[in-house]
């Protein structure tokens, strides 16, 4: 049986090649409530950093892009790899199990996902866990989701539990909990630090690119931060300005050996990956970070998307998606010396290494409906074609040092290998 994660082809027909996999219906560009709020704030206290601007636009508790009620409604949606094909989540599920096995089959296993969107990735992974019951045995498995959007957490709850959850009042660390359709305990948090300690496999798919970045420009006077200000010619408009003097961020976030002229730094991403690394070093486990990204080479990547098109990031904040490529060299630096980092490698390489070709063959063998077969092949192509998502997305992993011995002699750009034969499993 093909799961409902063949949920996408309708959407894909409408996607244009250069567009982030995010879709919005056309909406007015003018004067979102966040726009008004930011104009008042800048009028009162002066220009704000790009990081503050991005944080307000994406996660403002009332009107942020990810928080608003209608984000997943008829008016807007985003398409990401887990939404394109069930195979994506299945292979990541196999990766999780293979890391758990390679780490010595700990008797507790926390699956942690950061920014789970609609819950499709976790859902496909949990189906794999069910199919691999004999491998996982009596392991105490639990699911932990870090999600800033209460509304998206409802979609996740519906997808993963069929609505079988309870919500907590106020600022409790666990704001929602329940039991998955496959019978596992599941919890929702706002912050990583609230997740219980213990062996964990962390997944972050298109999460780090949504975290706020600072932007810096090299000038004759040294590094200066790029700020967001009001355009004096048009008081309703925002514009970028370069700070006259150093800011705290420009003093502490630029590396001494930096030789680019323009740099974006995501300190929040750095802090989060540091927390993951500390946990992986102390409690065991692994992290897989999948995103648009580069290895410390790109400069100006901050961009907005709206209505299938590139969108001016300074227009209609809160009503358009904002993203910046993830700097994996920065994440690697922030993990420290107690863990091993592998990658980034392309999505194509990772999925090929994980056996996507064999998995596709198994699904095709079990499927006789011509249109579903065509969809399977089309979505496979979307995921791995270098012109589509195959090279645009990068996989980066953080592993416990205990895994290092298994990678002796391997290149930096090498993906963890799957446990042989998993991809051929007949996971329906
Ligand atoms: C681009 S979506 C990706 C969704 C999903 N991983 C996928 O690939 O389909 C980003 C996700 O991260 C969540 N998110 C964004 N910023 C966050 C933050 N600071 N803390 C927790 N979740 C956040 C969003 O609400 C959303 O679920």
pLDDT digits (tens, 9 = 90+) for 282-340: 999 999 999 999 999 999 999 998 876 788 999 999 988 899 999 999 999 999 999 99
Q: How far is CA 155 from CA 119, 137, 159, in A?
A: 7, 30, 6
- pLDDT at position 3 over 70: no
Residue 159 has a pLDDT of 96
The pLDDT of residue 67 is 87
Q: DSSP assignment of 16-37, as one string? A: -TTS-SEEE-----S--HHHHH
240 with 374, same domain: the answer is: no
Q: Is the CB of 116 under 6 A from ligand 1?
A: yes
For ligand 1, whether the C-beta of 355 sits within 6 Å is no
* Percent residues over pLDDT 70 in the chain: 84
Look at residue 194 and tell me if it is in a domain: yes
Token pair of 115, please? 């920014």
d(CA 242, CA 316): 22
Mutate to test the pocket of ligand 1, among 5, 144, 176, 207 (most ligand atoms within 8 A of CB): 207
With a 6 A CB cut-off, is 379 part of the ligand 1 pocket?
Answer: no
Please tell me whether residues 312 and 354 are part of one structural domain: yes
Least Cα distance to 426 among 9, 161, 94, 141 occurs for 94
The answer to whether position 377 is within a domain reads yes
Q: How far is the CA of 401 from the centre of ligand 1 (A)?
A: 28
Question: Do 38 and 164 have their domain in common?
Answer: no
Q: Is 33 found in the same domain as 19?
A: no
| Average confidence (pLDDT) over 9-34 | 39
Nearest residue to 265 via CA among 327, 343, 336, 335: 327
416 pLDDT above the threshold of 80: no
Pair (226, 347) in one structural domain = no
Each residue's pLDDT tens digit, 154-203: 999 999 999 989 999 778 999 999 999 999 999 999 999 999 999 999 99
287 and 327 both lie in a single domain: yes
Q: Say whether both 237 and 95 belong to one domain.
A: no
Residue 2 domain-assigned? no
**Paired tokens of 111:** 């699956």
Residue 4 lies in a domain: no
Using alpha carbons, select from 12, 158, 165 the residue that is nearest to residue 77: 12
Q: What distance in Å separates the CA atoms of residue 283 and residue 188, rounded to the nearest whole number?
A: 20
Return the closest-CA partner of residue 317 out of 70, 58, 71.
58
Ligand 1 lined by 145 (C-beta under 6 Å): no
Residue 427 is predicted with a pLDDT of: 53
Which of 248, 264, 280 terminates a domain? The answer is 264
Residues 364-380: b if buried by 16+ CB within 10 A, e if exposed: eeeeeeeeeeebbebbb
60-75 average pLDDT score: 70
Q: For residue 181, is it within any domain?
A: yes
Q: What is the CATH number of the domain that holds 16?
A: 3.40.50.12710
Whether ligand 1 lies within 6 angstroms of the CB of 389 is answered as no
Residues 290 and 413 in one domain: yes
pLDDT confidence of residue 408? 55
User: Helix H segments across 284-384?
Assistant: 328-335, 347-353, 356-365, 370-384
**Residues 241 and 195 both lie in one domain:** no
SS3 223: strand
> Does 3 map to a domain?
no
pLDDT at 407: 53
Pairing of strands 108-114, 262-265: unpaired
Do 316 and 224 share a domain, yes or no? no
Contacts of 329 (CB under 8 A, 6+ apart): 295, 296
Question: What is the domain range of residue 258?
Answer: 26-63+213-264
Is 243 inside a domain boundary? yes
Confirm or reject: Cβ of 146 under 6 Å from ligand 1.
yes
CB 303 within 8 A of CB 313: yes
| Backbone Cα Rg of the chain | 22
Q: Is 66 in the pocket of ligand 1 (CB under 6 A)?
A: yes
* Model confidence, pTM: 0.90
What is the maximum alpha-carbon separation in the chain? 68
| Ligand 1 pocket: which of 19, 117, 118, 203 to mutate (most atoms within 8 A of CB) | 117
Number of domains in the chain: 2
Helix (H, G, I), strand (E, B) or coil at 422: helix
Report percent pLDDT > 90 for the chain. Answer: 76
Tell me: do 55 and 79 sit in the same domain: no
Q: Are 224 and 198 found together in one domain?
A: no
Number of residues in the chain: 428
For strands 309-311 and 303-306, give the pairing. Answer: antiparallel
Whether the predicted pLDDT of 125 surpasses 60: yes
Q: State pLDDT tens for residues 207-237.
A: 999 999 999 999 999 999 999 999 999 999 9
Closest ligand 1 atom to 22 CA? 1
pLDDT tens-digit profile of 245-286? 999 999 999 999 999 999 999 999 999 999 999 999 999 999
Look at residues 226, 248, 264 and tell me which one is the last residue of a structural domain: 264
Under DSSP, the state recorded for 148 is: S
- Establish whether residue 59 lines the binding site of ligand 1, counting it when its CB lies within 6 angstroms of any ligand atom: yes
DSSP string of 340-369, one letter each residue: EEEEEEEHHHHHHHTTHHHHHHHHHHT---
Residue 376 lies in a domain: yes
> What confidence tier does 28 reach under pLDDT thresholds 50, 70, 90?
very low
CB of 80 shorter than 6 A to ligand 1: yes
């Amino acid at each position: 049986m093909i799961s409902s994660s063949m949920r996408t082809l309708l959407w894909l027909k409408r996607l244009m090649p250069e567009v982030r996999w995010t879709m919005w219906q056309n909406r007015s560009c003018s004067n979102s409530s966040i726009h008004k709020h930011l104009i008042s704030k800048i009028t009162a206290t002066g220009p704000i950093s790009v990081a503050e601007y991005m944080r307000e636009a994406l996660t403002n508790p009332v009107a942020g892009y990810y928080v608003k009620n209608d984000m997943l409604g008829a008016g807007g949606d985003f398409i990401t790899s887990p939404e394109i094909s069930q195979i994506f989540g299945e292979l990541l599920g196999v990766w999780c199990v293979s890391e758990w096995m390679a780490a010595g089959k700990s008797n507790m296993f926390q699956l942690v996902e950061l920014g789970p969107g609609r819950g499709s990735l976790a859902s496909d992974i949990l189906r794999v866990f069910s199919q691999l019951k004999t491998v996982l045995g009596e392991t105490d498995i639990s699911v932990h989701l870090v999600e800033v959007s209460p509304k998206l957490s409802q979609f996740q709850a519906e997808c993963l539990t069929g609505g079988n959850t309870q919500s907590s009042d106020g600022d409790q660390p666990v704001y929602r909990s329940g039991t998955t359709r496959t019978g596992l305990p599941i919890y929702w948090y706002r912050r990583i630090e609230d997740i219980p300690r213990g062996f964990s496999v962390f997944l972050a798919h298109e999460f780090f690119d949504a975290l706020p970045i600072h932007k810096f420009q090299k000038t004759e006077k040294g590094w200066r931060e790029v700020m967001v200000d009001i355009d004096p010619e048009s008081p309703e408009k925002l514009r970028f300005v370069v700070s006259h003097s150093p800011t705290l961020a420009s003093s502490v976030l630029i590396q001494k050996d930096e030789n680019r002229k323009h740099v974006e730094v995501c300190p929040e991403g750095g802090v989060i990956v540091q927390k993951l690394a500390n946990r992986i070093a102390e409690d065991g486990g692994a992290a897989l970070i999948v995103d648009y990204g580069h290895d410390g080479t790109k400069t100006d990547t901050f961009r907005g998307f709206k209505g299938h098109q590139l969108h001016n990031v300074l227009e209609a904040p809160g009503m358009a998606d904002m993203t910046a490529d993830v700097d994996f060299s920065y994440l690697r630096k922030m993990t420290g010396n107690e863990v091993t980092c592998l990658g980034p490698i392309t999505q194509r390489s990772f999925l090929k290494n994980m056996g996507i070709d064999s998995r596709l063959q198994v699904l095709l063998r079990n499927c006789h409906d011509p249109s579903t077969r065509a969809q399977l092949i089309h979505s496979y192509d979307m995921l791995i074609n270098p012109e589509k998502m195959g090279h645009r997305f990068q996989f980066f992993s953080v592993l416990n040092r205990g895994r290092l011995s298994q990678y002796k002699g391997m290149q930096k750009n090498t993906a963890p290998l799957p446990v042989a034969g998993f991809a051929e499993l007949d996971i329906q």
